[in-house]
Amino acid sequence: MTKTTINSPQSPHWVDKVVEQILAWQKKQSVKKLHVDDMKTPSGRVHVGALRGVMLHDIVAKALQAQQQSTKSTYVFNDMDPMDGLPAYLNEQEYQQHMGKPLCKIPPPQLDKSGIDFSQATAAEKKQYQQAKSFAHFYALDFIAAFRQLGCSQKIVWSHQLYESGQMDKVIKIALDKTELIKQVYQKIANYELPANWHPFQVNCEQCGKVGTTLVTAWDGQQVTYECQPNKVDWAQGCGHQGKVSPFGGTGKLLWKVDWPAHWVAMGVNIEGAGKDHTSAGGSRDMANALLEKVFESIVPFDIPYEWILLRGAKMSSSKGVGTSAREFTQLLPAELGRFLFVNKHYNQVIDFDPQTMAIPDLFDEYDQAAQIFWQQEPGDERLGRAFELSQLKTVPKAHFLPRFRDLALWMQHPELDLAEEFEKIKGSALTKPELQVLADRQHYAQLWVNRYAPAEYQLGATSEIPAAAKQLSAAQKKYLQQVDQLLDSQANWDPQELQQQLFELAKKTLGARQAFQAIYLAFLGKKSGPRAAWFLLEIDPKLRKQRIKEVQKKQ
């Protein structure tokens, strides 16, 4: 991460503005050390939306560190939370017995039943997941790998370790001692009246191990009295056990709205933003702030309320398995591009990310423009150039040629084209070794986009199924395709240029070049045009080619 233009007047990026605000707040509050934190409950495969919070806090922490500030940066996995729902990809019957238990106490899923694609994973990666200590640990590993790939370097904190180590004991006692005050805060902030026997703590039932089904009914200053209620919630069944236990050392956890500010106090957190769902009026952020001031008597952390990232307009959910996972997202784009998506957009603006549109080529175009502005190769919004700078994982690269992604996505499907030569024409000189590497890297991601998401006009490879457009073929065109098949079989190692000439000669003798070449493209692409025919045909698997031509003959 470069340190050249942080907070420069010529760089009005939102990160620099936030840093300026934090430093002013720090001075006003007389805060000595800054601690940036973010949290997540690992209830399943983590969606790409959760990356927004990780990225926001990471980039702010790094910008503060670049200002010579003593800044700690952490990420908490709330693995003491109960399992209260199952993603669609997990077997409900298999996990029914664990509903209501803390996520850190539930065994991890098997690789092939986890909802995570391990087909490209190395043996070492698979082994790491197979050695996961819990359900929460398993899915947290997947998320950690994703945000580490994007350059986020927060220290990982496990909530169960905070509780078990005794680090949360002091705040637990404060919360239980001030239960009546907490009830007053609930009433004032959320207009919610709590039952007379309510307490802000849940015990891990000593008999069934569930936390989501227990209710603490009394606190004597040393122990809590609790009962595990069979019908407390509709997603888990309690065992009916009643008992008395110390609330300290990991025997249970504070309820979520109290747990959040309690974590801030126990860890010394003083900077933490939250998503839109938490920051609405009367929501969990307002509640946490009020509890922090009234109950824990501590300074409210600097807030950075941020918007969601949407996929086709829908908010994503880890527990329901909705949306592109963080792992899938990091496979779609180079790390710098993934980082750019989050850094470039202001945190209070929605990111609508849909890879099944032109969103990925558009993102590459904007990134390339940002690079050229930063390198002073063209005039433009300096905020955009700053976003390019902040998107780099290490040092900012020196100016170099960037092949346009959307051109590459098309040209690489024309096997007759030499990609390096085509882009050298645009550059006006030979590509350097680093530029050839950039080209190779981008070709990899362009291939992924074409294979999985690109609109039909960007897909120029032979289809796996016979196209509907093949029904347009005339009898003469079908006969030409049979002759093409025989021509290809007549020689083992065709030179593409020679084959192209032979295809042309055959077309002239039969139905004419235009109708002949359209027959090839309609049969294999479902379109009337495509890459140069000889190169295209030689790229097709011979079994697929023969099967397709047979199918074409039967098509009415």
Note whether 402 and 293 are same-domain residues: no
> Which residues, other chains included, contact 217 with Cβ-Cβ below 8 Å and sequence gap of 6+?
197, 199, 225, 226, 227
Which among 423, 458, 493 is the end of a domain? 458
Residues pairing with 352 in the sheet: 310
Per-residue pLDDT reduced to its tens digit, 341-383: 999 999 999 988 888 788 899 999 999 999 999 999 988 889 9
- Residue 193 domain-assigned? no
Nearest alpha carbon to residue 152 among 350, 339, 351: 339
Note whether 449 and 518 are same-domain residues: no
Note whether 441 and 539 are same-domain residues: no
CATH code of the domain containing 156:
3.40.50.620
In angstroms, the CA 274 to CA 155 distance is 18
- Residue 92 domain-assigned? yes
- Residue 189 domain-assigned? no
Note whether 405 and 510 are same-domain residues: no
- Residue 126 domain-assigned? yes
Note whether 448 and 486 are same-domain residues: no
pLDDT of res. 542: 86
pLDDT of res. 6: 36
Domain count, the chain: 3
Note whether 372 and 271 are same-domain residues: no
Note whether 62 and 160 are same-domain residues: yes
CATH code of the domain containing 361:
1.10.10.770
Which among 434, 458, 482 is the end of a domain? 458
Which among 417, 440, 458 is the end of a domain? 458
Note whether 392 and 478 are same-domain residues: no
Given a contact cutoff of 8 angstroms between Cβ atoms, the answer to whether 499 and 438 are in contact is no
Mean per-residue pLDDT, 252-270: 97
pTM: 0.84
- Residue 19 domain-assigned? no
Distances (CA, A) of 544 to 462, 524, 541: 9, 9, 5
Other Cβ atoms closer than 10 A to 230: 11
Note whether 276 and 410 are same-domain residues: no
Per-residue pLDDT reduced to its tens digit, 492-522: 888 888 888 888 888 888 888 888 888 888 8
- Residue 262 domain-assigned? yes
pLDDT of res. 319: 43
pLDDT of res. 5: 36
Mean per-residue pLDDT, 99-105: 97
State the residue range of the domain holding 519: 468-554
Per-residue pLDDT reduced to its tens digit, 220-229: 999 999 999 9
- Residue 479 domain-assigned? yes
pLDDT of res. 380: 86
- Residue 491 domain-assigned? yes
Note whether 445 and 527 are same-domain residues: no
Note whether 155 and 268 are same-domain residues: yes
In angstroms, the CA 365 to CA 386 distance is 16
Picking from 97-106, 183-192, 248-257, which range would have the lowest pLDDT averaged per residue?
183-192
Note whether 158 and 79 are same-domain residues: yes
Given a contact cutoff of 8 angstroms between Cβ atoms, the answer to whether 102 and 81 are in contact is yes
Instruction: Examine the pLDDT at 317 and tell me if it is beyond 80.
Output: no
